[in-house]
Amino acid sequence: MSSTIEWTDETWNPVTGCTRVSPGCDHCYMFALYPRLRAMAVPGYSAGPGVVQLLPERLDAPLRWATPRSVFVNSMSDVFHPRVPYDFVTRIFDVMRAAATRRGHIFQVLTKRPGRAVGWWNRNRDRYGGAWPARVWIGTSVESQKYAPRISVLARLPAAVRFVSAEPLLEEVDLRRWLDGGDVQWVIAGGESGPSARPMSIEWARDLRDQSRDAGVAFFLKQLGGRRGKRSGEAAVIDGETWRQMPHGESG
CA separation, residue 60 to residues 7, 73, 90, 95, 96 (Å): 23, 13, 13, 7, 9
Q: Are 113 and 80 in contact (CB under 8 A)?
A: yes
What size, in residues, is the chain? 252
Q: What is the dihedral of CA 115, 118, 124, 126, to 10 degrees?
A: -160
Q: Are 243 and 220 in contact (CB under 8 A)?
A: yes
Map out the domains of the chain with their CATH numbers: 10-242 (3.20.20)
pLDDT of residue 189: 98
pTM, rounded to two decimals: 0.95
pLDDT of residue 251: 37
Q: pLDDT tens track of the chain, all 252 residues?
A: 667 899 999 999 999 999 999 999 999 989 989 989 989 999 899 989 999 999 999 999 999 999 999 999 999 999 999 999 999 999 999 999 999 999 999 999 999 999 999 999 999 999 999 999 999 999 999 999 999 999 999 999 999 999 999 999 999 999 999 999 999 999 999 999 989 999 999 999 999 999 999 999 999 999 999 988 899 999 999 999 999 999 974 433
